[in-house]
Amino acid sequence: MRVRVVKAKESSRNKKILIQTMAIAAALLITGVFILAIGHNPINVYSSMIKGSFGSAYRVKETIIKAVPLLITALGIAAAFRMKFWNIGAEGQIIMGAFGASFVALRFADLPKGAVLLSMMIAAVVCGGVWGIIPGYLKAKWGTNESIVTLMMNYIALKWIVYLQYGPWKDPASQGFPKIANFADSAILPKFLGVHIGWIIALVLVVVIHIFINYTKKGYEIVVLGESENTARYAGMDIKKIVLLATFISAGIAGLAGMIQASAVSNTLNMQIAGGAGYTAIIIAWLSGLSAPWMVVVSLLFAALIQGGSFIQTAFQIPQSAADIIQALILFCVLGSQFFIQYKVVFGGGEVRGN
């Protein structure tokens, strides 16, 4: 019997909610079995994860801090994904944005605080954007595979920071430890309501990206090119310019996330500056349907999952590997639900699952 996977028609809102609810229920059930297998009560573990994410003002702040780079990076990735440019390089773009910001922070710390922070932001956007334009140019010029190129550039960016950390930027006062010097106070983002102002920057970007994609000419061109290159070309659009613009915007926003992490969280530049946010943001962008407002909600949920996973390690003496498995099982089920929303499985002539 022949089995086919075919594209499904657009699902109704109620059906999407039903499928996603079933996915969450399946995630809790499967994860609960795993938690029982390692000798803990699933209800206690789940309640502790919620408590670890939102149980106090401090934990809420920590969850927001973790959500900021996820949200900003997801916004950047979505700009490229709208064009069907599969930017897998946000991790490297975050790193290069942090590098640009760190260069300013370490070289021009004597300038007024406002000037230093603004220069750091500009440098981060430019460095991240240039890192994204490279695969964009290769794609527009020679049709290279952007997924492979952007992914490989992540490792180049990481090794560049390793070189700086062990070489020319190594702090002489670190007593031989491979560490880049901490930023001066002029290069540290201020706080508002107990959290660094990166969360305000993130919310402003949500509004800006939503307006740009949905209500501007350039945003419209990016969407049209993503839907059909032939249509874009027939309409007289400059394909190469659109690709370069979209990739610069996408990577530049990711670079800004790197500046915020370096300035407000790490207060320096190091190999762990991205912390996997570039990869997690890809999932967030997809689960949000590339919708900027929805990314706020999904980013917070992901941050809560990360924060809650860290909390249960201490509360229940669960190894990090086990906490990672719990997070992965939940993500697997949620991501798997997207298959049943977008596709249907057909056995022979009969439909067994889908819309």
Predicted confidence (pLDDT) per residue in 268-277, tens digit: 999 999 988 9
pLDDT band at 206 (very low <50, low <70, confident <90, very high): very high
99 lies in the same domain as 7: no
The predicted structure's pLDDT at residue 9: 72
CA–CA separation, 82 vs 211, rounded Å? 14
| Same domain (yes/no): 244, 328 | no
Cα 3 to its chain centre, rounded Å, is 35
146: in domain? yes
Same domain, 171 and 225: yes
User: How many Å apart are CA 40 and CA 13, to the nearest integer?
Assistant: 37
Mean pLDDT of 212-235: 91
Same domain, 111 and 194: yes
Domain C-terminal end among 262, 289, 316:
289
Residue 240 sits in the same domain as residue 275: yes
**Span 165-203, pLDDT tens digits:** 999 999 888 887 889 999 999 999 999 999 999 999 999
Among 274, 289, 304, where does a domain finish?
289
CB atoms < 10 A from the CB of 352, how many? 10
The structure's pTM equals 0.89
User: Does 52 map to a domain?
Assistant: no
Residue 350: is its pLDDT beyond 60? Answer: no
Within a domain: 319: no
Please give the full DSSP string across 165-196, using - where no structure is assigned.
Answer: HHTTTB-GGGTT---BPPPPGGGSPPEETTEE
Residue found by looking up tokens 């499928």 in the block: 19
Range of the domain at 5: 1-39+324-355
Task: Provide the β-strand partners of residue 347.
Answer: 3, 350
DSSP 12: P
**Total domain count, the chain:** 2
How many residues are there in the chain?
355
Q: Is residue 127 part of a domain?
A: yes
Domain membership flag for residue 54? no
Q: Are residues 110 and 176 in the same domain?
A: yes
